[in-house]
Structure formats: structure tokens, C-alpha cells
């Protein structure tokens, strides 16, 4: 039954993927930087993680079950005793086909466990029984025949050293096409996991700079609060930043809709220089991002390939600003296009132009990245990121 046991380094660098240049400059030093991935963050393989709306357990020693949903391998749920269980509510009936489990001290001991699922939280159906590898602290995915369930329960039956049930992170796995709720949803980054786990990695100086918050939100129960202080420079590159990274890997010919909401704090700095809040970065190491949303002074801009401003609007603070962005990704100017809805209105009808660089792919960065000369603290919130194949998918 056990399909895969995957070993993933918890700290690694993606060679050739570099930090982004600001809209007004590109520091040559950046071309030598690699993308730092936060140490000890959850990474799943062969698993399309399903958001859990809540989690309960048979007990705990002070390390509560919510610690298995915070995206950090350094925190855990622990409870003493064979038969200890932890149980995830997926919020609604979903197609479940596996579980990704990162065991605390999973590189020092093997853990015997069972997985069961339930549609009602009363009757549970066993779907998997096995033993962890004992060789890694990162998530290992076990698979079983897909079935419809609302709850997934992991029941511990002892480890090779003692009877402590200790899990650092765990996720139910869906099937890729249904990882979102709509069939054409490719990805959600809406923070409804209560963590940053929907995102590939982070570039931040401290966890408090990219903080999942329950207020304010635009969608659901959680959003992310991004804070940048002067000097924040997590990747030793130009500018100051704290950003989420999603390896969307858009390639030539891809066409997607993206929806998200951004709110600039009421004291968001007014500075006559660049402050990026959303960008699609190219996979190569030189040149400006092919698509970037940024603030300069009291204006929000959308700019293409570092040179062409295609839309602008006055900066608004203290209100959620809703974006729906439709892009055909292409290095050919007669194939690629952008189309933008802002605050419910079509503000940029389909405009043809190159949206990427030839022979490269793109990936998404969201947060705040700004000129290092800006002194005041900058705070911006993001919520509700979703990527889909059609306008209907993201709405
Ligand atoms: Ca954790
Ligand atoms: Ca949300």
C-alpha cells in the first residue's frame, strides 16, 4: 500500500533561480544569489494537500494538534500512549487519496501507525496501516485508493524507541484536479490552512514578517500580514523584502486567471520610489520581472518586462483591493496578453504583448519588496489567492 517514501532536504537552494530586481534597478549582485528556502518548513511530495479547517486529538502534553498545521517542522503535536490519534476536519466531503506525515524525530525512529477516514466523524474506515521509514524528519506520503471523506485520522501504535506519538506536520492528500474546489482551479493560496503551507517557500528575516492573521481578512478565516522594516534583507540582495514564493512555473502558451486581494495599511509609507507587492519573476538571472504590480508615490502600477506601464490607479489605503488578472504567457508579442479587473471592473481590456522571456518560465512572488532607502515600517495584507483556467474558476 505504501506508495512512496520521499526524502527531501529541509534546506536547499534552487540553482539558477535568483532574487528579483526592483522596477527601477537591478542590482548586478543579485544574479549570483540563489533563492533561499526557509529552513524546516513543510514540503510535501506526491501529495496535493487538502486544507484542514480544524484538528483535534485524543490528548496532548502541551504540544497541541494545531502545531501540525503551522507549516513548521520545529513544532509538533505530542501525546503519550499507543492508540493516540489526531484527526483532521477538511470542512466538507473531499476526495482523499493519501496522507503526508512529518514525524517528530522521524530520522531517529520508525513509527507504527494507521490511517482511517470518515464522512461523519462517527464511523471510520481503515485505509492504511504501515510504518514510517525512520530515516527523515520531512513529510512522507502514503497513498490509498481514493475515497470521499470529510475527516482523516492518524492513529499511533508505538515507535521503535517509546510510546510517544509526535507528529510535526500532517496533511490529507487529494487528487490534483480537485486540490481546489473547482475543477479548473489550479492552486489556492488563501491561507485557509491557517499557515503558509500552500506556498512553496518564503524569503523572510523572521516568521513575524509573514504572519498568518485572522483579522483583517478578505476571504475565509485567514489572511497574511506582511511587514517590512528597513534593513530586512533575507537573501542578501538589493532592496528590502519579505515575500512568499509560489513555483507556478508558467511556461510558453499557458493561460491562467489569478484572483487575489491586497490591502495597504493605513500608515503604508508614501515614498517616491518602488514598492512591489506582486510579481511574476522569470526563471533566468538577468533583467526585470516580466510582470510586476508595484506602488510608487501615491500610485499603483502594472508594468511589463521592466519598461512598459500598462495600467495605473491611485493608491488606496485601509481597504481591500480586489484583483482578477488574466494572462496568456508568451514571449511573442502577438500571442501573449494581459487583462485586468480591479475592484470589480474591467480596467485593462485584453492587451497583447510579451509576458515572459524566451526560453524561460515564470514564478509568483507576493509580499512586499521595496527600495532599501525607505525608512518607515511598511505593512500590507494579502488574501484569497487562487489560480484557475477560467474566470468562473477563480470567482
Ligand atoms: Ca508544526
Ligand atoms: Ca483567506
Query: pLDDT value at position 299?
Result: 98
Per residue in 106-162, pLDDT tens? 999 999 999 999 999 999 999 999 999 999 999 999 999 999 999 999 999 999 999
Tell me which DSSP letter residue 71 carries.
Answer: S
Residue indicated by cell numbers 490511517: 115
At 160, list the grid cell.
521503535
Distance CA 210, CA 11 (A): 19
Distance CA 132, CA 139 (A): 10
Residue 273 structural domain: 200-394
In the predicted structure, residue 12 carries a pLDDT above the cut 80 = no
The total domain count for the chain is: 2
Is there a domain that residue 101 lies in?
yes
Q: Is 153 in the same domain as 230?
A: no
Q: Is 285 in the same domain as 155?
A: no
* CA–centroid distance, residue 74 to ligand 1 (Å): 6
* CA–centroid distance, residue 357 to ligand 2 (Å): 32
Query: pLDDT value at position 16?
Result: 33
Burial grade of 25 (CB within 10 A; 0-12, 13-18, 19 or more): middle
Q: Is 237 in the same domain as 384?
A: yes
Ligand nearest to the CA of 198: 2
Mean pLDDT, residues 387-392: 87
Q: Is 58 in the same domain as 162?
A: yes
Is there a domain that residue 4 lies in?
no
Mean pLDDT, residues 272-291: 93
Ligand nearest to the CA of 168: 1
Tell me which DSSP letter residue 392 carries.
Answer: H
**For residue 170, which of 136, 212, 139 has the smallest C-alpha distance?**
139
**pLDDT grade for 4, boundaries at 50, 70 and 90:** very low
Q: What percent of the chain has pLDDT over 70?
A: 88
* CA–centroid distance, residue 211 to ligand 1 (Å): 15
- Identify the three-state secondary structure at position 176: helix
Q: Is 249 in the same domain as 314?
A: yes
**pLDDT grade for 338, boundaries at 50, 70 and 90:** very high
In the listed set 178, 211, 236, which residue is the last one of a domain according to the structure? Answer: 178
Query: pLDDT value at position 276?
Result: 98
* CA–centroid distance, residue 72 to ligand 1 (Å): 4
User: What are the φ/ψ torsions at residue 364 (nearest 5 degrees)?
Assistant: -100, 135
Q: Is 168 in the same domain as 259?
A: no
* CA–centroid distance, residue 251 to ligand 2 (Å): 27
Is there a domain that residue 55 lies in?
yes
**pLDDT grade for 391, boundaries at 50, 70 and 90:** confident
**pLDDT grade for 220, boundaries at 50, 70 and 90:** very high
* CA–centroid distance, residue 218 to ligand 1 (Å): 25
Ligand nearest to the CA of 103: 1
- Identify the three-state secondary structure at position 178: helix
Distance CA 181, CA 188 (A): 9
Burial grade of 35 (CB within 10 A; 0-12, 13-18, 19 or more): buried
* CA–centroid distance, residue 114 to ligand 2 (Å): 31
The neighbouring-strand residues paired with 154 are 86, 115
* CA–centroid distance, residue 158 to ligand 1 (Å): 20
Per residue in 162-199, pLDDT tens? 999 999 999 999 875 544 444 578 999 999 999 999 99
| CATH number, domain containing residue 376 | 2.60.120.200
Query: pLDDT value at position 201?
Result: 95
Ligand nearest to the CA of 41: 1
Is there a domain that residue 90 lies in?
yes
Q: Is the peptide bond before 357 cis (omega within 30 degrees of 0)?
A: no
CA atoms within 13 A of residue 344's CA, in its CB half-sphere = 1
Residues with C-beta atoms within 5 A of ion ligand 2: 190-191, 219-220, 222, 383
Average pLDDT, the chain: 88
276 Cβ contact list (under 8 Å, min separation 6): 20, 22, 23, 292, 293, 294, 365, 368, 369, 370
Mean pLDDT, residues 283-293: 90
In the listed set 125, 147, 178, which residue is the last one of a domain according to the structure? Answer: 178
* CA–centroid distance, residue 69 to ligand 1 (Å): 6
Query: pLDDT value at position 182?
Result: 46
Per residue in 226-266, pLDDT tens? 999 999 999 999 999 999 999 999 999 999 999 999 999 99
Kindly state the helix (H) or strand (E) to which residue 326 belongs, with its residue range: strand 321-328
| CATH number, domain containing residue 83 | 2.60.120.260
Ligand nearest to the CA of 188: 2
**pLDDT grade for 3, boundaries at 50, 70 and 90:** very low
Residue indicated by cell numbers 502600477: 301
Ligand nearest to the CA of 167: 1
In the predicted structure, residue 6 carries a pLDDT above the cut 80 = no
In the β-sheet with 362-370, what is the strand arrangement from edge to edge? 201-203, 240-250, 362-370, 274-282, 291-296, 299-304, 308-314
Q: Is 310 in the same domain as 210?
A: yes
160 Cβ contact list (under 8 Å, min separation 6): 109, 110, 111, 134
Query: pLDDT value at position 66?
Result: 95
Per residue in 292-305, pLDDT tens? 999 999 999 999 98
Is there a domain that residue 2 lies in?
no
- Identify the three-state secondary structure at position 64: coil
Q: Is 151 in the same domain as 240?
A: no
Query: pLDDT value at position 139?
Result: 94
Ligand nearest to the CA of 223: 2
Is there a domain that residue 3 lies in?
no
Q: Is 295 in the same domain as 381?
A: yes
Is there a domain that residue 7 lies in?
no
* CA–centroid distance, residue 75 to ligand 1 (Å): 4
Inter-residue long-range contacts of 321-324, CB under 8 Å, 24+ positions, other chains counted:
321/261, 321/262, 321/263, 321/264, 322/218, 322/259, 322/260, 322/261, 323/258, 323/259, 323/260, 323/261, 323/262, 323/278, 323/293, 324/257, 324/258, 324/259, 324/391, 324/394, 324/395
* CA–centroid distance, residue 2 to ligand 1 (Å): 23
320 or 71, which is more confident:
320
219 or 23, which is more confident:
219
Residue 251 CA, chain-centre distance (Å), reads 19
Of the ranges 236-240, 316-320, 332-336, which is most confident?
316-320
Q: Is 167 in the same domain as 226?
A: no
* CA–centroid distance, residue 1 to ligand 2 (Å): 35
* CA–centroid distance, residue 150 to ligand 2 (Å): 20
Ligand nearest to the CA of 189: 2
* CA–centroid distance, residue 68 to ligand 1 (Å): 4
Query: pLDDT value at position 176?
Result: 59
Query: pLDDT value at position 109?
Result: 97
CA gyration radius, the chain: 22
Distance CA 27, CA 214 (A): 36
In the predicted structure, residue 33 carries a pLDDT above the cut 50 = no
Distance CA 321, CA 331 (A): 29
Q: What is the dihedral of CA 307, 313, 318, 319, to 10 degrees?
A: -110
Query: pLDDT value at position 177?
Result: 52
Q: Is 378 in the same domain as 300?
A: yes
Q: Is 173 in the same domain as 231?
A: no
Is there a domain that residue 195 lies in?
no
Amino acid at each position: 500500500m505504501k506508495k512512496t517514501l520521499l526524502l527531501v532536504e529541509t534546506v536547499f537552494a534552487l540553482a539558477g533561480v535568483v532574487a528579483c530586481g526592483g522596477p527601477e534597478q537591478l542590482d548586478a549582485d543579485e544574479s549570483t544569489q540563489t533563492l533561499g528556502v526557509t529552513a524546516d518548513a513543510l514540503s510535501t511530495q506526491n501529495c496535493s494537500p487538502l486544507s484542514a479547517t480544524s484538528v483535534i486529538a485524543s490528548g496532548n502534553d502541551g504540544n497541541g494538534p494545531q502545531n501540525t498545521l503551522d507549516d513548521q517542522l520545529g513544532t509538533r503535536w505530542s501525546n503519550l500512549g499507543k492508540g493516540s490519534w489526531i484527526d483532521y476536519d477538511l470542512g466538507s466531503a473531499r476526495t482523499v487519496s493519501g496522507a503526508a506525515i512529518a514525524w517528530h524525530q522521524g530520522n531517529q525512529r520508525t513509527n507504527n501507525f494507521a490511517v482511517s477516514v470518515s464522512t461523519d466523524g462517527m464511523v471510520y474506515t481503515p485505509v492504511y496501516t504501515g510504518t514510517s521509514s525512520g530515516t527523515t524528519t520531512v513529510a512522507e506520503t502514503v497513498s490509498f485508493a481514493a475515497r470521499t471523506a470529510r475527516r482523516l485520522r492518524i492513529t499511533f501504535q508505538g515507535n521503535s524507541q517509546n510510546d510517544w506519538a509526535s507528529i510535526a506536520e500532517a496533511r490529507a492528500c487529494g487528487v490534483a484536479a480537485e486540490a481546489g474546489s473547482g475543477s479548473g482551479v489550479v492552486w489556492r493560496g488563501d491561507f485557509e490552512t491557517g499557515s503558509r503551507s500552500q506556498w512553496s517557500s518564503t524569503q523572510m528575516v523572521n516568521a513575524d514578517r509573514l504572519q498568518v492573521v485572522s483579522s483583517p481578512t478578505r476571504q475565509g478565516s485567514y489572511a497574511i500580514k506582511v511587514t517590512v522594516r528597513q534593513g530586512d534583507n533575507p537573501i542578501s540582495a538589493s532592496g528590502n523584502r519579505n515575500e512568499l514564493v509560489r513555483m507556478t512555473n508558467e511556461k510558453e502558451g499557458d493561460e491562467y486567471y489569478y484572483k487575489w486581494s491586497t490591502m495597504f495599511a493605513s500608515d503604508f509609507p508614501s515614498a517616491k520610489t518602488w514598492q512591489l507587492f506582486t510579481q511574476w519573476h522569470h526563471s533566468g538571472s538577468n533583467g526585470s520581472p516580466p510582470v510586476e504590480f508595484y506602488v510608487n508615490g501615491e500610485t499603483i502600477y502594472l508594468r511589463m518586462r521592466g519598461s512598459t506601464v500598462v495600467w495605473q490607479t491611485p493608491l488606496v489605503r485601509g481597504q481591500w483591493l480586489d484583483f482578477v488578472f488574466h494572462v496568456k504567457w508568451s514571449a511573442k508579442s502577438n500571442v501573449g496578453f494581459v487583462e485586468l479587473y480591479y475592484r470589480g471592473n474591467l480596467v485593462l481590456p485584453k492587451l497583447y504583448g510579451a509576458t515572459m522571456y524566451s526560453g524561460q518560465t515564470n514564478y509568483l512572488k507576493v509580499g512586499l519588496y521595496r527600495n532599501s532607502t525607505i525608512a518607515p515600517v511598511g505593512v500590507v495584507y494579502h488574501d484569497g489567492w487562487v489560480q484557475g483556467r477560467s474566470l468562473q474558476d477563480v470567482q
